[in-house]
Amino acid sequence: MSAGFWAMGGYARYVWPCFALAVVIFAWNVWSARRYYAAARRRAARALAMADSEKQ
């Protein structure tokens, strides 16, 4: 990857931030979805545990 590649014909400061932001958005989506799913699992498990203890 030559210096020319990173320079992007002089447009580097426009091109690379775009790809960087894309990486950030993708990463955020993964992180946020995983968090959401994990939290939903925890809440469901807790609700089930409470229902079980009430039955006893």
Partner 1 sequence: MWKWFYKLASPPFVYNTAAALIPWFTSFAVVALGYGLVGGLVFAPPDYQQGDAFRIIYVHVPSAWMSEFSYTLMAVAGAIALIWRIKIGHAVAAATAPIGASFTVLALVTGSMWGRPMWGTYWAWDPRLTSELILLFLYFGVMSLRTAFEEDGPRGDRAAALLSIVGVVNIPIIHYSVVWWNSLHQAASVAKFGKPTIEPSMLWPLLAMFLGFMLFFGAVLCLRLQGEILGRERQSAWVRDAVKS
In this complex, which beta carbon is closest to partner 1, that of residue 18 or of residue 54? Answer: 18
Give the three-class secondary structure for 56.
Answer: coil
Q: C-beta of 54: minimal distance to partner 1 in Å?
A: 13
CA–CA gap between residue 53 and residue 39 (Å, rounded):
21
Tokens of 35: 């968090």
Q: How many residues bind partner 1 (CB under 8 A)?
A: 30
CA–CA gap between residue 2 and residue 40 (Å, rounded):
47
Name the site residues for partner 1 (rule: CB under 8 A): 5, 8-11, 14-15, 17-19, 21-22, 25-26, 28-30, 32-34, 36-37, 39-41, 43-45, 47-48
